[in-house]
Structure 1
Amino acid sequence: MYLKYLQIVNYKNLKAARFIFSQGANTIIGENDSGKSNAVTALRLLLDDSYYYNSKRMKESDFAYDLGEWRGHWIIISAVFVDITSIDKQTEVCAEIVPEDENRVFLNSYINSGTGDIGTVTLFIRPQKFVRKKLYEAQTKEEFEEILNEVKLSDYEFYYTSRSQTDFTDPTVYKTIVGDFETGSYCNPDDDDTAILGSKLNITDVQDHISVMFVDALRDVANEMRKPRNPIRRIVEAIEAQIDPADIERIKEKISELNLSISEVKEIGEIGTQINSKLMDMIGMVYSPEIALESQLNDEINALSRYLSIKPSNQNDMDLLGLGHLNMIYMALKLVEFKFNRTRELINIMIIEEPEAHIHTHIQKTLFDNLKLTKDYTQVIMTTHSTHLSEASEISKINLIKTKGVVSCVMQPIENLDQFGESKLLLKDMKLSECIERYLDAKRSVLLFSKGVLLVEGDGEEILIPNLVKKGLGISLDELGIGLINVGSTAFEYIASLFDNKRIQRYCSIITDRDIQAVAEDSSHYSVNAQKKGEARRIKLDGLFSENPWVSTFYATNTFEVEFAKHSSNQYFIKDIIESHYTQEAAIKRHKEALKAGGTDGANTVLTLANSIGKGWYATLLSSKVDESVVIPEYILNAIAYACQEIVTAEIKLKMVRYSMTFYPNSNSAAQDILSTLTNVLNEKEKEEVIERYCTTFPIDTPAIFIRKINEAFWW
């Protein structure tokens, strides 16, 4: 059996979260403060007997942040275990968590379990019955709220059940078992439905058969190894019965000899003599006991295990090892501990926060790959910020957490992914999830951590766009939380398919070319085939994603290089490259004139220059020359605005305003007035007013255009 499904309701920023896990190594990925640690803590509240938590330790902040008034609300944490075999069910507690009548609708909708049975364990942190009864009996909304105001944390109980098969993340279910706070109606506790809530459970019976090991991100391995209940001692306890009795007897004899040798040391004997002398001086010979100081080392194997330690073979002290090696040793010990204990426990769950801490990138991937091999006896759940670990992760074993305001939602990239690949992309020989797993290297897997994503065709866009944003808007893609992914082709549909209501709910912009030919037919750069492919690509992408609220495609009419050169401000940067690339004055003059003339001549010059230098190197040279006067092609600006529409705050807009204003001369009174306003502390209304004033006064500035696109998000 293994943990398949975890529901969390009203716990901190996890208002209604659903995590799905598999056997082996699972990852929880999310930005800082997204709720990764909250999810781990919730799981420990339910299953970890070493994590002490009750109403005395509760805080008001434990309740979902957007509830407003926490009083009367419930926190619900529910775990579903699957593939429970007939052998597992021979354990009484395991049989106790298996529903007598399985609700297959629930299973098929959410669990899709394997061939075995399921089992559920649920924790309800809720007001005690007498409080719920008062709330139920309230006659008016006013009386209901008066009773609510009197509720204290000490009025809450921890109520555990088994066999529930309810989707507690469904708001309608929550109202059914708790009540409707808007109308002031609370459910009658006398009518608690065990078919929904489950049967009352003694949680210690379950926790005795489930091993949960938590490895903190801020772990002190050396200190952990010195504790009496360290992994080495637990391993020895597990194998004690397997040690040959003859070896145990031999050890006892050696310890007895050692005790005798220590006791016979002259100086130790003298200590005993002096103690006897002092006792006689204090209470006299009649009442003074005769004592002896002697060694009594415990000869029990269990007691001896506390003196076992590990050290590197070429060093005498474990403290000489680096933090990375200590972390790996500790995790290896925990896995060995689980291996020896698996016959005594139904399931071993190892929770590791940030396993990449202090570990070299190549070792991270090796570690993760090897953790997958533990699936026969250990389920691993890791939180991570590492793109290297996410690269090695299987899409089917990733949970992504996204934060919007004070609430986080949990997403599974695998959800209906292969079905999409089969029905929409017509994949036959390979699953879409397998394609993506092979494709997501450490560079591309950044999309899993980004707040928004730009997908581009090649090196030119990858190199130049980040600097266009930095120089044109005064803010970086990293500050916007935007990940730019070089697809290295025009096969955008594979990666873009990850973004969907059912999978990753983040905005993804596809930036590509229609490749309508900008040069004359007699030009060496003319390609009717490229134009046909561009049109076919547009039809395909629009057909796949036109109704997807999370994906939009933004097209260059011609190509990236040509679109950039259409703006006169950008031609100054290209002229610098012409001067440095060509040596003959006639060639320099000819290309500059063609560039200025624009049209097919200008396009031909740009393509000739880019192909001669190499598109990647051409973009690199341009990137080094652009400044604040650069004009970002509109289709790229639209794509960036679309990708970061959930991200751009007033503070980000003000940073762009300040950046833009610094390039105006002191004689520009309007710019100086805005800069002066920005030096004062502004409230939210004042921030919006100064942003609006800037956009109205300087409408053709690139930041102003961008801000309007964000504010008036109708164009996509």
Structure 2
Amino acid sequence: MHLSNLKLWNFRKFGSSGRIEPSKPNLNVPFQKGVNILIGENDSGKTAIIDAIKLVLKTHSAEWIRVDLDDFYEDVDELRIECLFEDLNEDEAKNFTEWLSWSGSGENAKPLLQLILRISRKGNRVLPFEVKAGPDTEGYPLTAEAREFLKATYLRPLRDANSELIPKRNSRLSQILAGHDAFKGRDNDHSFVDLIKRLNHEIGEYFNGKDPNGITLSDLKGKELKDSIDKLLGLFSNRKSKLSMSGSKLQSILEALCLLFDDCKNLGLGSHNLLFIAAELLHLQNSNHVLRLGLVEEIEAHLHPQVQMQVIETLQKEASSVQLIFTTHSPNIGSKIPLQNLIICQSGQAYPMGPSKTKLEETDYKFLQRFLDVTKANLFFSRGVILVEGWAEELLIPALAKKININLTEKGVSVINIGNTAFLRYAKVFQRQDEPEMKIPVAVITDVDVVPFEKIPTKEIEGPGGVKTNVPLSQLEINDLISQNTLSKESKYNGQVVKSYISPFWTLEYCISLSVKLRKIFFKSVLEALKDQKIDEGVVRLTAYDNAIQSLETHFNNWADSKEVIAYKIYDQILTGANDLGVAKDAISKSIIAQRFAENLESENADNLKTEASILYLLNAIEYAAGSN
């Protein structure tokens, strides 16, 4: 059996001010067998989902779980939680016979178990409540015995794994061991009990000054110690002492055990956490459990990023017989788990990424599994996303944002460099098959990819005698081609929260070169990037490059061409190295240019950028993703 669905009404942030309608939950989260990852920014509702499950099921660690006033949405007087379990086999279903409902009919009928928890409050007092189950909206109370079969395993966030593994009364380790077949039901006949009895006999003999065979020891300091205690006890109560290992029952023996790595001491938090996870997974796989459900908050706690990925890989392979629901803040884990196993929590909703929920095709899942690395996985934690084609855009966009007083980091906006033009695959992550739609604004920044008139684009025509020739396009024809490409990309990418922002001319770099307020800063960055390339290549004589940078002001003052021709020459310098500045004619790395431009833009005056038509699409994209328009 596995938890297939969770519904919440008026629980914490998931609620509404009206009366509870059982057919209209405030949150409806489907889960699948195996691994489920709740992922999202802080306060997105991940912990609330875990806590709701815990309230209904309780946990094997027997921790105290209470309901307080903060669990109620705003000022409502009632909350409701439902958990639906499917795929019960006969051995599991027999424990819940009187509470089962059914899906299908005849030979195809399958048992379901729906748990219902309704909690009310009166003023500042939470009223007594009980978990019910049944096919209707009210259900019937579950017995204590039935509830024992439904406990989940839970690992709290920032867990102190060390304290759970060290010897102490009722330690978590002793609970795990006691529930295993190696110890369960063997309180009196386990070999451990005999071992402790023999050990206690030897300890007692030592303090009597004898070895296990009753022969007097040469070293009688142990006997002297006990005699001193007995002398004092005789004065107090006329009784004698006995020294032994604490407890001779199996439970006491297990409480005296600790779990360590066999090759080191003084373990850190990360190592203790690995031991704790391994022990809990052993407990979860125990055949004695009817429900094998593990709830783990912040699975990455205290773990190095590489170890995080190894743990996730292992859990996916070794925990195939159990169901795991994790929360995480780790992009490492977000990138390692198949996309269809993720549930994105955002804006009071949970969005499963399974094939029936998103617009993604089967091939999209395979593509994203290959290319959704740690950097791109940041998009799952964002309040806004800007998708760009390459490194240059990724470096440029944050610098431009600051010039219009938008700090993308403060706004929680991630600029994701997808490294190609496969925007549609990433965009469809945020497009849903059904309501509710996602609320994360996603801006796609891409080039129109139509070369300008200065490059003299051509078209092929057929002349007299069928001879084909290339003739230049007119400016009007170029404009029509730009319009067609723009409409094509908008219809391809736009939908729900996804909006495309397409360059009005050629490429991003060309549009910046068209900006009167930015072109000089940009061209300076181009020349500085060329010099950086030469330094990287080991060139020693850099005078010509320094002179070109220093004479930039004069060069611009004497540049009498139109702004379109100037923009074309700046961009041609990037693509081919063509220039009349006396420097090497080499193509220049766009990413180095972008890095230089971002640095220069921060120190240069460039105000009122929204008056620059050629870059307005970039600024609009930034504002949309940041929620500023």
The 5-angstrom pairing of residues 326-341 of structure 1 reads 326-339=272-285
Moved more, 366-375 or 449-458: 366-375
Tell me, in whole angstroms, the C-alpha distance in 2 between the residues paired with 1:328 and 1:544.
46
Amino acid at match of 2:606: S
Tell me, in whole angstroms, the C-alpha distance in 1 between the residues paired with 2:49 and 2:104.
26
Conserved 8 A contact 1:391-1:441? yes
Amino acid at match of 2:79: I
Tell me, in whole angstroms, the C-alpha distance in 2 between the residues paired with 1:154 and 1:642.
44
Residue aligning to 1:125: 119
Tell me, in whole angstroms, the C-alpha distance in 2 between the residues paired with 1:557 and 1:267.
93
Tell me, in whole angstroms, the C-alpha distance in 1 between the residues paired with 2:457 and 2:373.
38
Give the C-alpha shift of residue 124 in structure 1: 0.6
Tell me, in whole angstroms, the C-alpha distance in 1 between the residues paired with 2:165 and 2:111.
38
Give the C-alpha shift of residue 368 in structure 1: 1.2
Give the C-alpha shift of residue 372 in structure 1: 1.5
Matched, 1:499 2:430: yes
Q: In structure 1, which of residues 210, 224, 236 is the aligned counterpart of residue 177 of structure 2? A: 236
Conserved 8 A contact 1:85-1:116? no
Residue aligning to 1:303: 252
Identity, % of aligned positions: 20
Please provide the CA RMSD for this pair.
3.4
Residue aligning to 1:390: 334
Moved more, 293-302 or 34-43: 293-302
Conserved 8 A contact 1:356-1:386? yes
Partner of 1:218, secondary structure, is coil
Tell me, in whole angstroms, the C-alpha distance in 2 between the residues paired with 1:537 and 1:456.
17
Residue aligning to 1:206: 146
Residue aligning to 1:8: 8
Matched, 1:157 2:122: no
The 5-angstrom pairing of residues 338-377 of structure 1 reads 338-339=284-285, 342-377=286-321
Give the C-alpha shift of residue 573 in structure 1: 0.5
Partner of 2:42, secondary structure, is coil
Tell me, in whole angstroms, the C-alpha distance in 1 between the residues paired with 2:623 and 2:443.
9
Give the C-alpha shift of residue 345 in structure 1: 1.3
Over 3 Å counting, the alpha-carbon distance change for 1:637 and 1:28 in structure 2 is: same
Structure 1 unaligned runs (5+)? 105-113, 128-150, 165-194, 281-289, 423-429, 649-709, 711-716
Conserved 8 A contact 2:78-2:118? yes
Conserved 8 A contact 1:231-1:337? no
Amino acid at match of 1:63: F
Tell me, in whole angstroms, the C-alpha distance in 2 between the residues paired with 1:296 and 1:37.
42
Matched, 1:609 2:584: no
Partner of 1:87, secondary structure, is helix
Over 3 Å counting, the alpha-carbon distance change for 1:267 and 1:371 in structure 2 is: same
Tell me, in whole angstroms, the C-alpha distance in 1 between the residues paired with 2:190 and 2:441.
68
Residue aligning to 1:102: 103
Give the C-alpha shift of residue 535 in structure 1: 6.9
Tell me, in whole angstroms, the C-alpha distance in 2 between the residues paired with 1:579 and 1:102.
70
Tell me, in whole angstroms, the C-alpha distance in 1 between the residues paired with 2:364 and 2:548.
54
The 5-angstrom pairing of residues 682-701 of structure 1 reads none
Tell me, in whole angstroms, the C-alpha distance in 2 between the residues paired with 1:53 and 1:27.
23
Tell me, in whole angstroms, the C-alpha distance in 2 between the residues paired with 1:537 and 1:367.
46
Give the C-alpha shift of residue 596 in structure 1: 6.1
TM-score by length of 1: 0.69
Conserved 8 A contact 1:160-1:201? yes
Matched, 1:460 2:404: no
Deviation sequence 1:79-113 (CA, Å, 0-9, x none): 111211223223x23x34421x4379xxxxxxxxx
Tell me, in whole angstroms, the C-alpha distance in 2 between the residues paired with 1:349 and 1:586.
67
Conserved 8 A contact 1:231-1:334? no
Amino acid at match of 2:411: L
Give the C-alpha shift of residue 217 in structure 1: 1.7
Amino acid at match of 1:196: T
Tell me, in whole angstroms, the C-alpha distance in 2 between the residues paired with 1:246 and 1:46.
36
Over 3 Å counting, the alpha-carbon distance change for 1:78 and 1:534 in structure 2 is: farther
Amino acid at match of 2:149: H
Tell me, in whole angstroms, the C-alpha distance in 2 between the residues paired with 1:37 and 1:410.
12
Tell me, in whole angstroms, the C-alpha distance in 1 between the residues paired with 2:118 and 2:294.
24
Amino acid at match of 1:75: L
Give the C-alpha shift of residue 578 in structure 1: 5.8
Over 3 Å counting, the alpha-carbon distance change for 1:242 and 1:232 in structure 2 is: same
Residue aligning to 1:562: 510
TM-score by length of 2: 0.78
Tell me, in whole angstroms, the C-alpha distance in 2 between the residues paired with 1:212 and 1:35.
20
Amino acid at match of 1:379: Q
Conserved 8 A contact 1:251-1:299? no
Give the C-alpha shift of residue 387 in structure 1: 0.7
Q: Decide which structure has greater helix share.
A: 1
Over 3 Å counting, the alpha-carbon distance change for 1:514 and 1:89 in structure 2 is: same
Q: In structure 1, which of residues 476, 487, 491 is the aligned counterpart of residue 418 of structure 2? A: 487
Matched, 1:515 2:490: no
Give the C-alpha shift of residue 313 in structure 1: 3.1
Tell me, in whole angstroms, the C-alpha distance in 2 between the residues paired with 1:43 and 1:460.
45
Q: In structure 2, which of residues 41, 55, 60 is the aligned counterpart of residue 45 of structure 1? A: 55
Q: Number of paired residues?
A: 544
Matched, 1:83 2:87: yes
Residue aligning to 1:180: none
Moved more, 623-632 or 472-481: 623-632
Give the C-alpha shift of residue 199 in structure 1: 2.7
